[in-house]
Amino acid sequence: MSEPAVRARARWPFERRVTALAMALALPALALGVFVLSALDVSHVLRACLIILLVLLIGGTAALLRESIIQPLRGLANVVEAYRAGDYTVRGRRSAKGDALGDLVGEINDLGRTLHEQRLRAMEATALLDKLVGDIDVAVLAFDGAHELRLANPAAIRLLGIEVGTALGRRAADLALDEFLDDARPTRIVGAVAGRSGRWQVTHGTFRESGLVQHLLIIADVRQALRDEERLAWQRLIRVIGHEVNNSLTPIRSLAETLRDMLQRTLGPGQSREETLEALGVIADRTEGLGRFLAQYSRLARLPPPRPRWIPAAPLLARVAVLDPERRIETGSDPDLEACVDEDQLEQVLINLVKNALESQAPDGGHVAVRAQSRGGGLSITVLDSGPGIANPDNLFVPFFTTKPGGSGVGLALSRQIIEAHGGTLRLDNRSDARGAVATVEIPGAARR
């Protein structure tokens, strides 16, 4: 279409063009009517009245033709405007099926229903995604192209140790996360994130929003998964060792006792007899001791699942305190505090922790404090001592590792396994307020008053 024609159409809106077209269609009928009326042999007054009546009739017909075209289009324009504003519940009025305009109204109504259903599905999916991202114990962060934080779920806020109101807009460099955004590797295992040590799996990906590149970081603490795999490996090893060694220890012990009885009856008194009997006695005793040693390790592989129930916390701490005859154990707990735990298993954990704390004290003094409290609806128990502290924290929970003479290296590993089976955590750290160490047990949702 030529430029003058485009300008002419711009000066003549659609409604005027429809009106002009309707009048143009009515002009031949009007001219014919005037010609017929002029030929009639009637008075001039009657002829004028008939001509006026004819003009009104033809004008009304043209106006009706115009409105029959304009009104449905105005209604459709209102419907489309509502869709553009996000209201997909508005529907156009369909006059009849089978005509072009009715079919257009029907298609637009179907489009509105489709958009409405898609919006509902999108809202439901978004709500589910928000729920998952908010509840998942994995940090999810989104940065824009300038490495400024645009999204952070509660796990990310806890990991970074920042306030929710000041999180968005902060740069990745300020959060010590810029190295992960610049790394081309999609997934990596690191030993520290934002100054927090541990074992972290960092996944980096990109996506586009409004045509601009955005960065997505997913940071997961894999220590629990690694510990679970480690525990399964130790359990399998313990089962194999226990089975094979016990199969050998039983006949060795039986034969040693049999030989000792036979030689005791047949050999006469003398040094050789006593030495032989003593050697056989050592074999029998060490065989029995090795069996007890393996039985203790086998507890790691046969730990039953916990059976929690609500119990008062104060009596549990009191039972642990009486284990020390010198009364060096101080206990503290709200008298109305209750814990939802497996009583026997948690008592065993506290016995192990208190025993380690007592053994770390100097012979001439020192004390141990055991405190229980409710923290955010969760049970928190601390065991504090005044000993030398922890010198080698890396191997504390490794089965068979011990720094104590005669120790088995099972107590802490078994204690952590019990607490993690309750859904909680067990940590051992050096105290920041004084000399000594502190063991912290935390079980979410396991405390009430």
Judge whether residue 310 has pLDDT over 90: yes
Highest mean pLDDT among 78-92, 239-253, 337-351: 337-351
Q: Work out the average pLDDT over 36-54.
A: 70
356-to-26, 201, 203, 332, 407 alpha-carbon distances in Å: 108, 33, 39, 19, 10
Residue the block writes with tokens 């909680």: 424
pLDDT in tens, 221-245: 877 676 777 667 666 666 656 655 6
Confidence at 100, pLDDT banded by 50, 70, 90: confident
pLDDT attached to residue 398: 61
**Residue % of the chain over a pLDDT of 90:** 6
pLDDT attached to residue 18: 62
Least confident of 50-64, 346-360, 370-384: 50-64
- Count of Cβ atoms closer than 10 Å to residue 316 Cβ: 21
- Count of Cβ atoms closer than 10 Å to residue 182 Cβ: 10
Instruction: Tell whether domain 309-448 is in CATH 3.30.565.10.
Output: yes
Judge whether residue 381 has pLDDT over 90: yes
Report the DSSP beta bridge partners of residue 382: 371, 440
* Residue 197 vs residue 138, higher pLDDT: 138
pLDDT attached to residue 47: 67
| Token pair listed for 424 | 């909680």
- Count of Cβ atoms closer than 10 Å to residue 134 Cβ: 11
* Residue 387 vs residue 362, higher pLDDT: 387
Entry pTM:
0.46
Kindly report the CATH number that applies to the domain delimited by 136-221: 3.30.450.20
pLDDT attached to residue 400: 53
pLDDT attached to residue 218: 87
Judge whether residue 340 has pLDDT over 90: yes
Judge whether residue 211 has pLDDT over 70: yes
Confidence at 301, pLDDT banded by 50, 70, 90: low
Under 8 Å CB-to-CB from 40, ≥6 apart: which residues? 47
Mean pLDDT of the chain: 77
Provide the CA 27 distance to its chain's centre, in angstroms.
Answer: 76
pLDDT attached to residue 169: 85
* Residue 169 vs residue 59, higher pLDDT: 169
Confidence at 308, pLDDT banded by 50, 70, 90: very high
pLDDT attached to residue 240: 59
Confidence at 105, pLDDT banded by 50, 70, 90: confident
